[in-house]
């Protein structure tokens, strides 16, 4: 903030000096006399300051508006193309599988993956305003040069940015910094326009005016480098510590420091390094896994810590020598098998509710192993089917159909495999033709209403699909925090807890007990429980709509209350776990998957 304010002050001063210099020069050329008192003209300064501030603000809002589409806008800005889920390219399929595993393990939506096709450097990024609109971008060099373990380390690093909220800050930073970069761009456009007009004009008239404008444009370009300097400084100050945090989170996630460490070593020994050649790379340099642009002025201007320092934090034995790593060894086009993994038997999760909240945004290696095993256990025909839009649409409709009768393959899917399968299908459906989306929504609603009742899974799946796809096809904006205290939210929270309590048991007394346990987590006065004849999908939707506008801290408190309510008897069924994860999704609080037959708690 201090750097930004200083940059704006210096830019205003520079523009004023340029303005005075141009007009003083014109006055001297016309035969006037130089008078030092004319250097300070308060009225002129106020006009210059006002116009400059207006340009800075306009530049900021223009770029923010340009990037309001979220992660996809950043990927397109960098020249990325979405990877087709049905791609035959073995390297592209490998990155899609790694990303899907990470998403399912962390409880986040499976993001679209964009490929920076012509980029030989090894790099990646995550971008978006929230997990719902996040995308992962990778360079061609990244998927060609890294093996699966190294890719897993890099993608785990990027998922840390998704889970820690870094993405929104990074996008907003592009917009804010564009305001102080706009003066340099105006100077550049002025010089370029003059060059074109002079080359296309044979007239020598107006030479003095052209020279004055050219001088002003040149001075603006020079002054603009104040903005360039401070933009680099601000990006460096914001991003460096977050890179260390993301490295540490990746190790916690994968339990394999060698994966990300070897990826960094490979960057250090690779001829193209991590450089991104696209002309917008500088603008988005703070998004990348490693330095995407060259020429940082000392370490002060680097958006990332040095490779050696990052590697030493992961591998203390590293001595700073990079091998000549020019290409990754082929893996015969096959995905690594998950050896000796079993999903286990149980139909319920034994849970200590307080432990669930501590895992929001903090998946573990056990979650990753579970997700990998779960995906490996899906019927091969289904995994191929969900890779293309028509098949993905059919799978969603089959999951909503009675007993999955629409597809024998879907009918064979285990209860704990349904949501992960749906997540993969939804990621593919983001590429659905826009005119087919309304008809798809109609089909889903018709299937849900076919039996005149909505069960927990149907509600969870329908809400999840619409929440994931609506921002893509209807350009909806994520809710903005409106509530920072519990009191105005208490009635909606009580309504939500009432629905969860009734859905968890047929016994009215047990439902009241579960409701009371949930309300205890919120503290304060306890509103009356919703009457049994008033709970249902509409009440649940109404409460989630209001609670989704709570601040992040309030959301976590309410989610803890929901967990306590659902887990009041110490057991969470698969259906209840799915519903709880849907609530977490509505709050942008991703909950890693519950593992059937496993206990969640300190003694687990």
Active centre residues (catalytic): 158
Smallest Cα–Cα separation from 537: which of 579, 480, 482, 506?
Answer: 579
In the beta sheet, which residues pair with residue 137? 114, 125
In three state form, how does the secondary structure of 454-511 look?
CCHHHHHHHHHHHHHHHHHHCCCCCCCCCECCCHHHHHHHHHHHHHHHHHHCCCHHHH
Half-sphere exposure of 61 (CA within 13 A, CB side): 5
Smallest Cα–Cα separation from 303: which of 244, 243, 236?
Answer: 236
Q: For residue 288, what is the DSSP state?
A: B
Residues in contact with 262: Cβ distance below 8 Å, sequence separation at least 6, in sequence order: 149, 150, 153
Would the CA dihedral through 102, 104, 109, 115 be positive or negative? positive
In the beta sheet, which residues pair with residue 572? 349
Burial 430-462 (b: 16+ CB within 10 A, else e): bbbeeeebeebbeebeebbeeeeeeebbbbbbb
Cα separation, 157 vs 75, in Å, equals 18
SS3 label, residue 135: strand
CB-based burial label for 526 (10 Å; 0-12, 13-18, 19+): middle
Cα separation, 505 vs 197, in Å, equals 78
In the beta sheet, which residues pair with residue 351? 600
Cα separation, 524 vs 490, in Å, equals 9
Give the relative orientation of helices 490-504 and 574-586 as an angle to the nearest 10 degrees. 160
Would the CA dihedral through 201, 207, 209, 215 be positive or negative? positive
In three state form, how does the secondary structure of 103-121 look?
HHHHCCCCCEEEEECCCCC
Helices (H), 315-455: 353-358, 365-376, 380-385, 389-400, 408-411, 418-429, 437-449
């Amino acid at each position: 903030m201090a750097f930004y304010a200083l940059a704006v002050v210096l830019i205003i001063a520079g523009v004023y000096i340029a303005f005075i210099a141009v007009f003083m020069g014109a006055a001297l050329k016309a035969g006037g006399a130089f008078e030092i008192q004319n250097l300070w003209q308060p009225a002129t300064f106020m006009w210059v300051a006002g116009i400059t501030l207006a340009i800075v603000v306009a530049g900021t809002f223009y770029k923010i508006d340009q990037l309001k589409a979220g992660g996809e806008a950043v990927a397109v800005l960098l020249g990325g193309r979405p990877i087709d889920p049905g791609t035959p390219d073995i390297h592209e399929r490998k990155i899609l599988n790694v990303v899907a595993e990470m998403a399912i393990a962390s409880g986040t939506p499976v993001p679209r993956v964009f490929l920076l096709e012509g980029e030989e450097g090894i790099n990646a990024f995550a971008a978006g305003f929230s997990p719902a609109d996040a995308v992962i971008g990778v360079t061609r060099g990244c998927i060609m040069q890294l093996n699966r373990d190294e890719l897993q380390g890099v993608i785990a690093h990027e998922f840390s940015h998704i889970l820690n909220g870094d993405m929104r800050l990074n996008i907003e930073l592009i917009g804010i910094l564009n305001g102080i970069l706009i003066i340099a761009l105006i100077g550049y456009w002025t010089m370029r326009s003059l060059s074109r007009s002079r080359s296309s004009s044979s007239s020598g008239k107006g030479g003095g005016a052209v020279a004055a404008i050219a001088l002003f444009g040149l001075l603006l370009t020079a002054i603009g480098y104040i903005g360039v300097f401070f933009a680099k400084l601000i990006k460096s100050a914001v991003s460096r510590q977050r890179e260390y945090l993301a490295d540490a989170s990746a190790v916690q996630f994968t339990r394999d420091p060698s994966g990300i460490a070897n990826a960094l070593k490979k960057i250090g020994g690779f001829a193209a390094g991590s450089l991104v050649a696209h002309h917008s790379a500088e603008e988005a340099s703070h998004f990348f896994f490693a330095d995407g642009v060259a020429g940082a002025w000392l370490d002060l201007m680097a958006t990332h810590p040095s490779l050696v320092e990052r590697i030493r934090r992961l591998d203390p034995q590293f001595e700073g020598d990079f091998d000549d790593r020019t290409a990754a060894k082929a893996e015969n086009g096959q995905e690594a098998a998950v050896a000796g993994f079993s999903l286990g038997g149980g139909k319920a999760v034994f849970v200590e509710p307080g432990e669930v909240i501590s895992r929001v945004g903090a998946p573990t290696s056990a979650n990753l192993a579970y997700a990998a095993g779960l995906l490996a256990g899906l019927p091969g025909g289904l995994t191929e089917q969900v890779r293309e839009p028509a098949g993905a649409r059919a799978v969603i409709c089959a999951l909503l159909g009675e007993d999955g009768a629409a597809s024998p393959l879907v009918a064979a899917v285990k209860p704990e495999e349904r949501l992960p399968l749906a997540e993969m299908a939804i990621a593919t459906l983001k590429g659905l033709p826009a005119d087919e989306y309304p008809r798809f929504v109609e089909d889903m609603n018709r299937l849900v209403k076919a039996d005149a009742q909505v069960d927990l899974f149907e509600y969870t799946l329908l809400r999840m699909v619409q929440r994931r796809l609506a921002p893509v096809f209807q350009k909806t904006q994520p809710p903005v925090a409106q509530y920072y205290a519990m009191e105005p939210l208490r009635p909606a929270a009580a309504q939500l807890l009432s629905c969860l309590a009734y859905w968890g048991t047929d016994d009215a007394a047990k439902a009241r007990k579960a409701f009371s346990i949930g309300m205890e987590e919120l503290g304060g006065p306890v509103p009356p429980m919703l009457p049994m004849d008033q709970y249902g999908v509409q009440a649940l939707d109404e409460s989630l709509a209001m609670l989704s506008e709570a601040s992040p801290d309030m959301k976590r408190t309410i989610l803890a209350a929901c967990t306590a309510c659902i887990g009041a008897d110490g057991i969470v069924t698969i259906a209840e776990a799915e519903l709880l994860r849907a609530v977490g999704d509505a709050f942008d609080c991703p909950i890693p998957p519950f593992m059937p037959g496993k206990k969640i708690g300190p003694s687990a």
